[in-house]
Structure 1
């Protein structure tokens, strides 16, 4: 096993001020330093989103994946046979771990970093009264609004990126980096997990005519928090959204909010968990299940890759 989780993503963006507002409104702790914006989930002691300012348009710079250092030499050798290559760290980044480009030129940093501390369990577990199964008695499930704290992102769960060849991406990341294919929908979208103790997916690929960043997904406590946090960020951002809904693939509840550059930010909770990939059987779903089991209509540009579009996205929700 090489990769055990997604650690961070780094984007090049035109305007750090827009990113600082968006991620601040989303509940992150932010700081600016040397032309970059660093964002971390409250309660964590590390950054999980880095924005590099001054770019002509938004572009995925690289992904950082947590990896076992014992497997880095093997990963480098296998990557070469599968169309990737080992490379040096970009200027301004530490040359630790292993830096690779995948077969489509996407830059990936395999970092030897310690695991995050376990998340603190919720004080009141989410409980649903169902027909014939009453588990919450003698108390209200909901507090008044004035007594309810706004949900904050707890950790980065997964990243979805665009790929011009989803099958080839799956081959590279499973055979070279040690991930497992958890599920897919034809050759259009695929989801990959770690081999042990993993969310249903930590990295996913959607078909496009080039590479690019689609969304980062951040865990909150329960479905109520997904709804609250999504509604609050939507009101502050004034951009597009998709949700509240529930995925078939992964089973998680979701609410997506469009960021200032046309890509997406997801709050999620209640995702399937794969403790041992050897006991998991991947499913090839039909396209009707590729995005959601239920939810509102999908925005027209939800799977649009603005990084390869001739026209950049503008904050008003249309191309310029």
Structure 2
């Protein structure tokens, strides 16, 4: 179930769906970060539109207006780093299947909001995956309705001006997370084999090797987000960004206004993506990690085949500001230089030619 698009030639192995995955993940439940300053983290996330659900001496839990008990966990730590994320499973039987994988922890009761049972795994790039089942949902909170829209062929709004409130964008749910990898092929294969992810679209370098894989959940005939997990080839494992759904484009725009007025650093937007189609806007938290507001994303069922496309800065948005060079620029420090040298020798996916190509392409 694959197709070639955009006149690209597939000369290398590509991410593909697995014929018999260990389990099929049902949802992205939460992200896990460590931060040295919980107050600073709370200030940004509140202005971004998340709601504090619970605070302990060393941990913050944030939710959206949807029924998830929490979608963002901030643990106190000596340094700022991304730890991993949670995936919901359909049953306890699925959890026991994952428990047989190498490196899986024992199954235990979750101490986090919503309870349930969970175990932890590490993917081939070292990111933590908390697989959870039986997590209880909570009551949804009220958020404003999407604003009606006067189109040339339909005029529902008469004698009724648009006045969205000047307030942080109301985050409804966690949409996706994007990770950067050295071991691209092994990590993609791990998620397709063990969690049933389906590559929706793959972006290719000029030599035909994969650079980015946008992967969705396999929910059968139930529509799933174009991507819940996206993986990008670089020279080391790192967090790229995470995305949070808001009700409409006015919420994206109002979120931009509020975050700008409160002094936070803008990263990119507004615009509309090509792959996934989301209207987007990106902001940096106090430690430089990118967070995206979005609305109007594509939904695919399991039958949709994989698309293949050339990668370039122009392939990132249909309209809006061109993706700035700073958006993909790695943070070069001692640890990054060490990872570069180690992975050039160790990883089959990291080559000097590939890195030079990406550097020229993205600046």
Computing the radius of gyration from Cα coordinates, the structure with the larger value is: 2
CA gap of 1:54–1:101, structure 2 versus 1, over 3 A, is closer
Alignment correspondent of 2:239: 213
Give the TM-score taking structure 2 as reference length. Answer: 0.73
* Distance (whole Å) between structure 2 residues aligned to residue 86 and residue 97 of structure 1: 11
Instruction: Give 1:68-83 correspondences, 5 Å limit.
Output: 68-69=90-91, 70-77=93-100, 79-80=101-102
Q: State whether structure 2 residue 35 is matched by structure 1 residue 13.
A: yes
In structure 2, do the counterparts of structure 1 residues 270 and 167 end up closer, same or farther at CA, with 3 Å as the change threshold? same
Change beyond 3 A, Cα 1:149–1:141? farther
Match of 1:283 in 2: 307
**Residue of structure 2 aligned with 1:301, choices 326, 334, 354:** 326
Residue 285 of structure 1 aligns to a residue whose secondary structure is: strand
Shifted more, 220-229 versus 32-41: the winner is 32-41
CA distance in 2, matches of 1:309, 1:190: 27
The superposition leaves residues 190-238 of structure 1 with CA deviations (integer Å, 9 ceiling, x where unpaired) of 1111111311111111222222222221111111111111221133243
2:123 to 86, 102, 105: 102
Tell me the CA shift for residue 114 of structure 1: 4.7
Distance 1:167 1:125, change over 3 A: farther
* TM-score using structure 1 length: 0.82
Structure of greater relative contact order (alpha carbons < 8 Å, 6+ residues apart): 2
Structure 2 alignment gaps of length 5 or more? 1-22, 205-209, 337-363
Distance 2:98 2:232 in 1: 23
List alignment gaps of at least 5 residues for structure 1: 313-320
> 1:79-111 CA distances to partner (integer Å, 9 max, x unpaired)?
54xxxx313589x96793231111122111111
Match of 1:4 in 2: 26
Question: What's the Cα RMSD here?
Answer: 2.9
Number of residue-to-residue matches in the alignment: 298
* 8 Å CA contact retained: 2:215, 2:227: yes
Matched, 1:238 2:260: no
Aligned positions of 1:77-226 closer than 5 A: 77=100, 79-80=101-102, 85-87=103-105, 96-112=117-133, 113-114=135-136, 123=145, 126-130=148-152, 133-136=153-156, 138-140=158-160, 142-143=162-163, 150-186=168-204, 187-196=210-219, 197=222, 198-226=224-252
Q: CA deviation at 1:119?
A: 8.7
